[in-house]
Amino acid sequence: MTPSSRLPPTHFTPPHDPTSRAHAPSNEPAQSEKARHRPVRSGRVLAGLSLAILLSQLGTNIINVALPTLVKDLGADFGSIQWVVVSYLLVVTALIVGVGRFGDQLGKKRLYLWGLAIFMAASVFCALSTSLPQLIAGRAGQGLGGAILMALSFAFVGEVFPKHRTGFAMGVLSTMVSLGIALGPSLGSLALAAFGWQAVFWLNLPFGLLAFLLVGRYLPDAIDAPKPPVQKAGFDWLGTIFLAATLGAYALAMTFSGKLGFGAPLVLQLGLGAGVGLALFLAVQVKARTPLLRLAMFGNALLSTSMAMSVLVYAVMMATLVLGPFFLSKALGLDTRMVGLVMTVGPLAAAIMGVPAGAIADRIGARLVMVVGLALFTIGAFAMSRVSLDGGVATYIVAILFISIGLALFQTPNNTAVMADARPEQRGLVSGLLALARNLGLITGASLMGALFASAASGMATATVATANAELVTNGMRFTFRIATMMAAAAFLLSLTTLRIRRGRG
């Protein structure tokens, strides 16, 4: 049970909408209207949302430890088996904005329950798969469900919690994101050792069913109250397709660049495809009667700045996840068990700080906490650029603690500030945009930081990373995090500008 279960019930009141049935003459029974305004058990709602966001986050990395086993059991080569991971991330990245907007129009609760159902059904399909194509298809299905859960989870906070408790609720959900990163490898290892790789997917069912019951029973139906006619005029399918194609091409370009290099023909073709797709998407948005994204939204300085900061921050954070194991094992000589333990320090620190960060943001303001968080984050990135063989694992842990605590103090207030500024009818879309920025940062960070690390020292190419000596690995780590420090500092400077932005501006 999360700490949120101790929260007192809050009363949900739908936003005033003169065209909705709540404010128009109606012959509906009084009991129906009374049900729409019944007290919300916010603690149970938050527990359901927490489980759902945890499942979607586990989906990104829990299967990684089973890849060697899958190579043997499914008779696949290592290059092909990577698509078990890539297919999930690709679908999530491509669809996350579209499903957020679709939730605003169809009904966020209804779509969220469908997302949980799809995620669980796809998990069963994965567990029963007997070939690699089947497993990849199942993972893509999980990606669709995961995109819905990631896009809409944070959007419900403004619907259910009063303003003075939104930071706390955002902190709990942000903690679940960090826990998903921390628990994925360990849970996957336990399930794999005890029951085989299929257990990694069966594990989703009990938690998914509990989340479905909690959200279905306690999340107020009034969230899906009928929208004004203008909002139900139509969904921008063409814009959604172009945006999904653009994001998918970009994600694939970043994925392949790690193996082939940024100058490879396939990577360049995918990059060109992403550029053409973006141009077509923008052209459609200008002419569409009900566009997926109103481009004027990006005139909102808080939203635009928040997304830019998220891309920078999560690109740096991904560097710690990708490069950390190389430094700890090849430079410091730690065994696999110790590498795993040290790698959990950061996510656990971020998870522990998530709820306090939200509570502090409720008391003194989200933007100020965000600035402090990014200052610590930048200090941590700089400390990581100074790691050495003499400093040992202690120096690494100090640096990762600064980065992780700074991340927690950034992500919760950042989500809180942006969602508080969003209009009720756009919360699904805005939540999807925040999740998109996070995913783009992770994808870009994995490829860009990996490439910098691989080419940092003289004579160190991508093909020789596995055989590089301790000194070369340390040089690569230091160089990469000098670049990461500049990115973190840029995010910090952007955060200072948010202190002067008025709410709702743009």
Sorted by sequence, the CB contacts under 8 Å of residue 39 that are 6+ apart come out as 9, 10, 11, 12
pLDDT in tens, the chain (506 residues): 444 444 444 444 444 444 344 444 444 444 334 444 445 577 888 999 999 999 998 888 788 778 778 888 888 776 677 788 878 888 888 888 888 888 887 788 889 999 999 999 999 999 999 899 999 999 999 999 999 998 888 888 877 887 777 778 888 888 888 788 777 777 887 888 888 889 989 999 999 999 999 999 988 876 665 555 444 556 778 888 888 888 888 888 887 876 777 788 988 999 999 999 899 988 888 888 777 777 777 788 888 899 999 999 999 988 888 788 888 888 888 887 788 788 888 888 888 888 888 788 878 888 899 999 999 999 999 999 999 888 889 999 999 999 999 998 998 888 888 887 777 777 788 888 888 888 888 888 877 887 777 776 545 444 455 566 788 888 888 999 999 999 999 999 999 988 877 655 44
Alpha-carbon distance 239 to 293, whole Å? 8
| pLDDT given at position 190 | 81
**Percent of the chain as helix, strand, coil, to the nearest 5:** 80, 0, 20
Residue 9 has what pLDDT? Answer: 45
Retrieve residue 277's tokens: 């797709």
DSSP-assigned beta bridge partners for residue 40: 10
Query: Among candidates 49, 151, 155, 158, which has minimal Cα distance to 100?
Result: 151
Q: Is 353 within 8 Å of 409 (Cβ atoms)?
A: yes
Six-digit token string for 289? 């009667």
pLDDT of residue 78: 62
The pLDDT of residue 143:
93
pLDDT at 4: 42
- What is the structure's pLDDT at 430? 85
Q: DSSP state, 7? A: S
Q: H or E stretch including 290?
A: none
Residues 6+ apart with CB under 8 A from 328: 334, 338, 339, 342, 343, 393, 396
Report the C-alpha gap between 18 and 217 in whole angstroms: 27
CA distance 504 to 506: 6
Q: How many CB atoms lie within 10 A of CB 485?
A: 21
* Identity at 420, one-letter amino acid code: A
Which pLDDT score is estimated for 3? 43
Distance CA 319, CA 446 (A): 6
Show the tokens assigned to 430. Answer: 């805005």
H-run or E-run covering 340: helix 336-364
Do 343 and 350 meet the contact criterion of CB atoms below 8 Å apart?
no
pTM above 0.75, yes or no: yes
